[in-house]
Amino acid sequence: MATKLANTNMAFSCRLALLLGLVSISSLLGAGDTEVLEPRELIRAAMEHWRGVTSYSEMTMIIHRSDWERSFSMQAWTEGDKLSLVRVTGPKRDAGNGTLVKEQNMWTFSPKINRILKVPSSMMNQSWMGSDFSNKDISKSTDIIDQYDHSLLKTETVDDHLLYTIESIPHEEAAVVWGREVTVIRDDFVMLRQEFWDQDDILVKEMNSTELKLMDGRVVASRLRMHKTETPDEWTEMIVDVVDFDVELGANLFTLSNLRNPRQ
Amino acid sequence: MTRLFSQFKTILTLSWRNLWRNHRRTGIMLGAISVGVWAMIFMTALMRGMVDDMLNQGISNLPGHIQIQHPEFLDDPSVVNSIDEPRGDLLAALENNGVRVWANRIKVPAVIMSERESRGINLIGIEPVSEADISGVPARISKGRFLESNQDKGLVIGAKLAERLETRLGKRVVITSQDPDNNLAERGFRVIGIYRAELAAQEESNVYAARGTLQDLLKIEGRVSQIVLVDDDYRNVESLYRRVAAATPAGLEVKPWYEIDTYLAVMFNMMDGFVLIWVIIIFLALSFGLVNTLVMAIFERVREIGLIQALGMRPGLIVYQILLESLMLLLIGLIVGNMLALVTIKPLEDGLDVSVVAEGMAMMGAGSVIYPSLTLYDVVLANVVVILLGILTSILPAWRASRLDPVRALNTH
């Protein structure tokens, strides 16, 4: 789920998978033939590998503004790239708030009003829990990958790893506002950086993995920061504290009733 | 007969000469009447112009003179409350019944997003061919072009909205709405045109796309939100309304503009009454001056009136004489006032720019240019009111003059 959350805007909804390094690149690429690799195929293959993978994670989200800062702790469950459930566990006054994402639909539950709300399309662009992520970032589906033309800008070797810089330009009718997105992916599929450029080619916002860790057998981007270029002192950071992959998830986990009454 | 005529001539001469005995007083009174009549006609023309403008704008915002739609649509303009495109009887009625313009329209709430901002809007799917006659937006394109076909892929937004979104002509924006099954419907559009409207609120809220493109986006093939009809004159849509209503299948709602927007209807219906009240109020102010002038004129002539009465003039003729005096005063005032109004309104017919107070006008739903509209009805009304009520108010002083006792009157001063 960390994944899902991190799944910011856009290009690859499988970002979580990428972030958590669910995919081993070696299976995709023969050692020497990286040049042959189509960027689009790279992403698609990554998604294929991710399909059906389940995870449980505990995360901390820090929302920073120039004059205040707050943090949430939360639990998240994911199955594949279409199902995810996030539940806030602290601070106390926010505990119990939950978000369920199923395909492209999204529901939130707030114990204070004891009500489940389906997030309407009109609110998709609003902030998710006051963070720099929008509801859309959280719920975006992988279909979006087909809405871009991807090209490999460059490859470089840093610290014994190959880094792929992929530029994704949305199709004319794609539901994407950006002029282009640039993603830096390491050869073990950890996403290091993503940039969002507007149509005048000005950098609007970026997401960086500032810390990588080996967790439950995989390299995970354990600290992710999202911030807008115009307001450098406002950012949101997601920190993955614990993550378990391939966990058993109950059949009722991704349901509205479970969103309201936690049973796991 | 000749006697009556010569009597009338005498009285006429007397009245006319009396009128100019104190030419300064008469001049002032004439000025007052002229200005009063001018104010009645001029201000009425301005108000008519303003209200016409508000009505026209209001109707082009609805839009159309008559709308056919789902009975729930006006209360809940969601994509669920759509109707089939016209066919059968209704289509025949629309095509053959002398409807000047008709068009299918889609109207749904949506969100528009640029890289930096997002805003709630009305997403309107139109048929470009007929749009010029319906909302007039095509004529107000300030940059780029208007939509060209029912399948045009572009988007036309208002200048104010472009500013708010920090986007501009040629850039892509994303539109998000819902299909009838509540699923997300979203798509990127390129801004191909920017329009300006009289009201900033309109520029901010109305976004235009082609009808066919929106039907694809919203997954409502063959369905539309409204069928809009425009007749020749909004004041006279009754007969068209009845014909169309008769051809419309059950389950659809047909409404003329005055039922859709009752505020506009009230404004329209109130206007005549409002003009009458306005004219009467100005007249009331005038009438004090008029009565005062007559009373003074009589007061000065008490001796004289006593004398002509003593010489044998009947009281009735005195009443006539004074009424005639008043009538002449009113007529001259009216002529001058009408000319004044005509002379001041004609040059303003191309529009009176009141952009200094544009914000206030916008709040009322009117544009910042007033086009005075001079109607025969208003001119006749002002003139008739002034003459009738003027004579009426003159009756009392005239009657009192005729009741003077000749002996006493001759003995004053």
> Quick check: helix, strand or coil at residue A119?
coil
Q: Enter the tokens of residue B231.
A: 């007749």
Q: Which CATH number fits domain A2-260: 3.90.79.10, 3.40.50.300, 2.30.30.60, 2.50.20.10?
A: 2.50.20.10
Q: Annotate A212-244 with DSSP letters as a single string.
A: EEEETTEEEEEEEEEEETT-TT-EEEEEEEEEE
pLDDT of residue A119: 83
Nearest-CA distance from B146 to chain A in Å? 19
Placement of tokens 């007083």 in the chain: B25
pLDDT higher than 90, residue A60: yes
pLDDT higher than 80, residue B26: yes
- Compare CB distances from A174 to B109, B185, B188 and report the shortest one's residue: B188
Q: Annotate A4-51 with DSSP letters as a single string.
A: HHH--SSS-TTHHHHHHT-S-GGGTS-TT-GGG--HHHHHHHHHHHHT
Cβ–Cβ pairs < 8 A, chains A and B: 65
What is d(CA B147, CA B135) in angstroms, rounded to the nearest whole number? 13
Q: In this predicted model, what pLDDT tens digit does every residue of B265-324 receive, in sequence order?
A: 888 888 888 888 988 999 998 888 888 888 888 888 888 888 988 998 888 888 999 999
Does one domain contain both B229 and B107? yes
Q: In this predicted model, what pLDDT tens digit does every residue of B94-115 receive, in sequence order?
A: 877 677 888 899 999 999 988 8
pLDDT higher than 90, residue A213: no
Does one domain contain both B53 and B85? no
What is d(CA B46, CA B348) in angstroms, rounded to the nearest whole number? 10
Give the mean pLDDT of B345-370. Answer: 77
What is d(CA A20, CA A41) in angstroms, rounded to the nearest whole number? 19
Does one domain contain both B94 and B220? yes
Q: How many residues does chain B have?
A: 413
SS (H, E, C) B175-217: EEEECCCCCEEEEEEEEEEEECCCCHHHHHHEEEEEHHHHHHH
B93, B97, B102, B106: CA torsion to nearest 10: -10
Nearest-CA distance from A71 to chain B in Å? 25
Q: Please give the residue that has the higher pLDDT: either A29 or A179.
A: A179
CB contact under 8 A, A175 and B187: yes
pLDDT of residue B194: 94
CB atoms within 10 A of CB B8: 13
Chain A residues with CB-CB distance to B under 8 A?
104-105, 118, 120-122, 124-126, 170-179, 196, 198-199, 204
Per-residue DSSP letter, B86: P
A143, A144, A146, A147: CA torsion to nearest 10: 140
- Compare CB distances from A121 to B114, B177, B189 and report the shortest one's residue: B177
What is d(CA B223, CA B138) in angstroms, rounded to the nearest whole number? 24
Query: Percent of chain B scored above 90 by pLDDT?
Result: 28
Q: Which of B191, B226, B260 is the last residue of a domain?
A: B260
CB contact under 8 A, A176 and B174: yes
**Burial zone of B276 (CB within 10 Å; 0-12 exposed, 13-18 middle, 19+ buried):** middle
- Parallel, antiparallel, or unpaired: how do β-strands B226-230 and B101-113 relate? antiparallel
Does one domain contain both B42 and B135? no
pLDDT of residue A52: 62
Q: In this predicted model, what pLDDT tens digit does every residue of B191-219 receive, in sequence order?
A: 999 999 877 888 899 999 999 999 999 99
> Quick check: helix, strand or coil at residue A124?
coil
Q: Annotate A79-105 with DSSP letters as a single string.
A: ETTTEEEEEEEESGGGTT-EEEEETTE
pLDDT of residue B331: 94
Q: Which of B260, B279, B313 is the last residue of a domain?
A: B260
Number of domains in chain B: 2
**Type of residue found at B328:** M
Instruction: Tell which residue, A142, A137, A154, A143, has the closest CA to residue A39.
Output: A154
Q: Annotate B267-330 with DSSP letters as a single string.
A: HHHHHHHHHHHHHHHHHHHHHHHHHHHHHHHHHHTHHHHHHHHHHT--HHHHHHHHHHHHHHHH
pLDDT of residue B271: 86
What is d(CA B139, CA A58) in angstroms, rounded to the nearest whole number? 58
Instruction: Tell which residue, A134, A174, A144, has the closest CA to residue B174.
Output: A174
B79 neighbors B179 (Cβ within 8 angstroms): yes
Nearest-CA distance from B178 to chain A in Å? 6
Nearest-CA distance from B174 to chain A in Å? 5
What is d(CA B404, CA B410) in angstroms, rounded to the nearest whole number? 10
**Type of residue found at A81:** D
CB contact under 8 A, A172 and B172: yes
At what angle are helices B238-247 and B88-96 packed, to 10 degrees?
150
Beta bridge partners of A54: A79
Does one domain contain both B115 and B185? yes
pLDDT higher than 60, residue A18: no
What is d(CA B383, CA A66) in angstroms, rounded to the nearest whole number? 71
Report ipTM for this prediction.
Answer: 0.74
Does one domain contain both B155 and B191? yes
What is d(CA A54, CA B329) in angstroms, rounded to the nearest whole number? 98
**Type of residue found at A185:** I
At A45, the pLDDT band (50, 70, 90 cuts) reads: low
pTM exceeds cut of 0.90: no
A166 neighbors A153 (Cβ within 8 angstroms): yes
Task: Tell me the pLDDT of chain A averaged across its residues.
Answer: 77
pLDDT of residue A2: 38
At A11, the pLDDT band (50, 70, 90 cuts) reads: very low
Buried b (16+ CB within 10 A) or exposed e, B189-218: bbbbbbbebbbbebbbbbbbbbbbbbbebb
Its domain, for residue B200, covers: 64-260
Q: What stretch of H or E contains B95?
A: helix B88-96
What is d(CA A206, CA A112) in angstroms, rounded to the nearest whole number? 34
At B343, the pLDDT band (50, 70, 90 cuts) reads: very high
At A48, the pLDDT band (50, 70, 90 cuts) reads: low
